[in-house]
Chain A
Amino acid sequence: MKSCLIVDDSKVIRMVARKILHELNFSTQEAEDGQQALDLCRKQMPDAVLLDWNMPIMNGIDFLRGLRKLPGGDHPVVVFCTTENDIDHIQEAITAGANEYIMKPFDSEILQAKFSQVGLL
């Protein structure tokens, strides 16, 4: 079973994502901000990270840059999932090492499509 870390400050979004990911047979962990997520990754690298952009304490892009510097930090497939939907943000995410990018609102179909595109399914 593959593991996915859900990073989002919205409890509702985390719940929706968790439900979809469980249906897709992922085990999940959750973090409310980038810092919590980095701490969890230091303990154990997930196979995938579903990552919000705007969060308190540490945002998604700073988390991603931090993650890619950790030992084993290039293992997780990182899929952004954010309301930021302009080319500049997407470009910045790719440059920082994101593998895919979901523009909110999303549904299970989009998440599934994106996860299979990056070989997680």
Chain B
Amino acid sequence: MRAEDFDLIAKILKERSGLIVTADKSYLLESRLTPVARRRGMKGLDDLLGSLRAASEDLLREITEAMTTNESFFFRDIKPFELFRTAALPQMLQARAAKKSFRIWSAACSSGQEAYSLAMILKEEAARLAGWKIEIVGTDISAEMLEKAKAGLYSQFEVQRGLPIQLLVKYFKKNNEMWQIDPSIRAMVQYRDFNLLGDPKSLGQFDIVFCRNVLIYFDQPTKARVLDAISRNMPDDGLLYLGGAETVLGISDRFRPVPDQRGVYAVNRGGNGAPAAGVASLFSGGR
């Protein structure tokens, strides 16, 4: 691979999706883009990279999507979902008692497991939620993943990673070798195409945001920018859930960690004084 080709594809990917590809990860380009090249009747990656300067929007989109990592599973890491059920849900039920509605965003939802896990939790709590209108919106940059999420069809392997057997029996039907999620759960989630680098305003405000296992692919300024945009789309008492390897500390003072709730962050409008902001300024130097 020519150095200038690598630089160009890295620049394109960063601009379009925030993805950082470093030279030591260039094998990922090989494994994920070779199929794209072949589909276009090219020999391999080098031909594809050579054609980049004249590439159509369509091709650039396909390349960007092909480079995403879409791994997901139901109730991933369990803890955040328990915290959602035991802490966030009661908090929202109290804080929104007057209007009886709130909205949840699964930002970077991939094939839908995260959004559906939340939907199943709500379904299990249906007795307490009678009369409530709770919206779940799942968004992703990958059209292919959104299709899969909407279809709600999962392989035997996928339904065995994180999904308790009782919930499988209750909310899935076997469809040949695949497992189909129940229409009542499917109807609780709306899926939309959305790039996290864009302005989420058009999606409306979200009280609870799950943005998990996607910031890890971005560099610090991009993480800060995305966190900033998310916080502006949340009310003062909003809650953000990040992935196990992600934090706001040292990256953004728009959120602060919620004590004793690992991976959960509260909107921080104050800037100074709050613990998160104090720590953040230690790390971020020049902000």
Interface residues of A (CB under 8 A from B): 85-87, 90-91, 94, 98, 100-103, 106, 109-110, 113-114, 116-117
Q: Are A103 and B169 in contact (CB under 8 A)?
A: no
Instruction: From known contacts A87-B174, A103-B156, A110-B157, infer whether A94 and B162 are also in contact, taking CB-CB under 8 Å.
Output: no
Q: Which 6 A-B pairs have the closest CB atoms?
A: A101-B165, A110-B160, A113-B161, A100-B165, A103-B156, A90-B169
Q: In the complex, which of the residues B73, B160, B173 contacts A103, with contact meaning CB atoms closer than 8 Å?
A: B160
In Å, the complex CA distance between A12 and B50 comes to 50
**Can you identify 7 A-B contacts, CB atoms within 8 angstroms?**
A87-B173, A94-B166, A101-B168, A102-B160, A109-B161, A117-B78, A117-B164
Q: Are A85 and B162 in contact (CB under 8 A)?
A: no
In Å, the complex CA distance between A102 and B78 comes to 18
Chain B window 146-166, contacts with chain A (Cβ cutoff 8 Å), 1 for yes, 0 for no: 000000000011001110111
Q: Are A117 and B173 in contact (CB under 8 A)?
A: no
Q: In the complex, which of the residues B160, B166, B173 contacts A113, with contact meaning CB atoms closer than 8 Å?
A: B160
In Å, the complex CA distance between A91 and B157 comes to 19
Q: B interface, how many residues as a size bin? A: 10 to 19
Q: Are A113 and B174 in contact (CB under 8 A)?
A: no
Main secondary structure on chain A at its contact with chain B? helix
In Å, the complex CA distance between A51 and B284 comes to 53
Interface residues of B (CB under 8 A from A): 73, 78, 156-157, 160-162, 164-166, 168-169, 173-174
Closest beta carbon of chain A to B173's beta carbon, Å: 7
Q: In the complex, which of the residues A87, A110, A116 contacts B169, with contact meaning CB atoms closer than 8 Å?
A: A87
In Å, the complex CA distance between A67 and B157 comes to 29
In Å, the complex CA distance between A94 and B170 comes to 12
Q: Are B160 and A114 in contact (CB under 8 A)?
A: yes
Residues of B within 8 A of A100 (CB): 164-165
In Å, the complex CA distance between A114 and B174 comes to 20
In Å, the complex CA distance between A106 and B161 comes to 11
In Å, the complex CA distance between A91 and B164 comes to 13
Q: Are B162 and A86 in contact (CB under 8 A)?
A: no
Q: Are B156 and A85 in contact (CB under 8 A)?
A: yes
Residues of A within 8 A of B165 (CB): 90, 94, 98, 100-101
In Å, the complex CA distance between A6 and B161 comes to 21
Q: Are B168 and A90 in contact (CB under 8 A)?
A: yes
Closest beta carbon of chain B to A113's beta carbon, Å: 5
In Å, the complex CA distance between A116 and B162 comes to 9
Closest beta carbon of chain A to B4's beta carbon, Å: 40
Q: Which residue of A lies closest to B74 (CB)?
A: A113
Residues of A within 8 A of B162 (CB): 113, 117
Q: In the complex, which of the residues B78, B160, B173 contacts A106, with contact meaning CB atoms closer than 8 Å?
A: B160
Closest beta carbon of chain A to B120's beta carbon, Å: 14
In Å, the complex CA distance between A117 and B77 comes to 10
Closest beta carbon of chain B to A94's beta carbon, Å: 7
In Å, the complex CA distance between A98 and B168 comes to 14
In Å, the complex CA distance between A102 and B162 comes to 12
In Å, the complex CA distance between A62 and B262 comes to 43
Residues of B within 8 A of A116 (CB): 78
